[in-house]
Chain A
């Protein structure tokens, strides 16, 4: 049973056209993360939500925003996608932040293409 669900699996957008990726979870976890993974590179953390608290990584471009309207859903908004934003976007959750809660549960990812 899928516990972290990302839709769609593949997303195509045009250069400069805003796009939103979605993630939902059935685990009732407090923390939700967005990772960007480019080809042959490590997954890179963009930001995370601890409950409603948003935590942005220092090197995440302003072009990337996120919303978490409730515990179950988290969205990644790319305001003006560039060619360099083509990547796999991974959503993950963890029960909490702290010792013993480090295990991440990942979604299947959304592969974003920018034309």
Chain B
């Protein structure tokens, strides 16, 4: 069963526009969720994790247990935000990270 769903394969916005990358999860326990990002020709790297309640590069993500969502948001997109974004779920006791299929964000000038 698919545990992490990113419904949008591609997302294109203009610079300065708000952006929201959607992530929904399916997990019976208490979830730990992450966003990873991969810029062009760079390695996959952690962007933020929900337990830290942090804002990285202007991005935030709130865990909504009622909607089983962990959407990534930024109020004003920048061209350098163009990248592949992966939502990931950490599965409990075996500490296995399951990734979504990713959303390719393009921020146009």
Contact = CB atoms under 8 A, between A and B. Distances in A.
Interface of A: 4, 40-45, 55, 57, 90, 92, 97-98, 102-109
A45 B9 CA distance: 21
For the complex, would chain A's binding face be called helix, strand, loop or mixed by DSSP majority?
Answer: loop
A60 B104 CA distance: 27
For the complex, would chain B's binding face be called helix, strand, loop or mixed by DSSP majority?
Answer: strand
Interface of B: 4, 9, 32, 34, 36, 42-46, 49, 86, 90, 94-102
B86 A104 contact: no
Given A55-B94, A92-B44, A102-B34, 4 more contacts: A44-B99, A103-B49, A104-B97, A106-B44
B95 A106 contact: no
B45 A97 contact: no
14 contacts: A40-B101, A42-B86, A42-B99, A44-B99, A45-B96, A45-B98, A55-B94, A102-B32, A102-B34, A102-B49, A102-B95, A105-B45, A106-B43, A109-B43
Contacts of B36: 104
